[in-house]
A and B are shown apart, each in its own frame.
Chain A
Amino acid sequence: MSHFSTVKTELRQIEPLVQALEDLGLAPEKGQRPVRGYRGQTVTADLAVTMDQGGDLGFRWNASTGAFELVTDLDLWKQRIPVERFLAQLTQRYALNTVLAASLREGFQVAEQTNAQDGSIELVVTRWDA
């Protein structure tokens, strides 16, 4: 059963997504919420981060892919980093939170957590089995 796997992370669950947004210093709100775009136009999302000067961030559930998708007016983008970088950071936090939660749930303990030079997060978890 020993193997090496690579998983392309998709934002599939709302709780680790909320936590990942909070890790990035944002305040997401759950539930059907309006996401404001250009000239007060809105779309509805399942999770939204309201920004002070408009250009809200929303996440909408896509049933066909089984994952959440970002919905926002890119002309009003207010984050410090470009949208691609923002989504990458968010996905990394989501993945870390999910791995940590699943490891603890299965009885593993974190033995080591380090940040590598290339921006990767290295995590080692162990468990003693009877």
Chain B
Amino acid sequence: MPQRTLRFTIRPDGRVEERVEGVAGEACQQLTESLEAALGTVERQEPTGEAFLQPEVQSQTLPAHLH
């Protein structure tokens, strides 16, 4: 059961910085979208370290052998 963690920094001028930690799930995405609707426009969005840890997917087309 993965734990989803979101870390917010609410600056004295009201700017909100949001950081998704660990494996981001659909719930994080929903929360982010719901916040953006209530708060305002996203000024900047950059991937955190984990975003680069893409699951490696390899695909290879195997020729069909007809016997």
Number of interface residues of A (CB under 8 A): 45
Q: Specify which of A2, A105, A124 is in contact with B24 (CB 8 Å cutoff).
A: A2
What sequence of 0s and 1s flags, for each residue 12-29 of chain B, a beta carbon within 8 Å of any chain A beta carbon?
A: 111111111001110111
Whether, in the assembled complex, A129 has its beta carbon less than 8 Å from a beta carbon of chain B, the answer is yes
Knowing A92-B10, A121-B10, the reply to whether A1 touches B15 (Cβ < 8 A) is no
Q: In the complex, which residues 1-39 of chain B have their Cβ closer than 8 Å to any Cβ of chain A?
A: 1-20, 23-25, 27-32, 34-39
B38 touches A12 (CB 8 A): yes
Contacts of B31 in A (CB 8 A): 102-103, 106, 108
Shortest CB-to-CB span from B15 to chain A, Å, is 6
A8 touches B41 (CB 8 A): yes
Sorting the interface of chain B by its residue count into under 10, 10 to 19, 20 to 34 or 35 or more gives 35 or more
Whether, in the assembled complex, A99 has its beta carbon less than 8 Å from a beta carbon of chain B, the answer is yes
B8 touches A128 (CB 8 A): no
B35 touches A98 (CB 8 A): yes
17 CB-based A-B contacts, threshold 8 Å:
A1-B29, A2-B24, A4-B17, A4-B20, A4-B45, A6-B16, A7-B17, A7-B43, A9-B15, A103-B6, A119-B11, A121-B9, A124-B5, A125-B5, A126-B3, A126-B6, A128-B4
Q: Give residues in B with beta carbon < 8 Å to A.
A: 1-20, 23-25, 27-32, 34-51
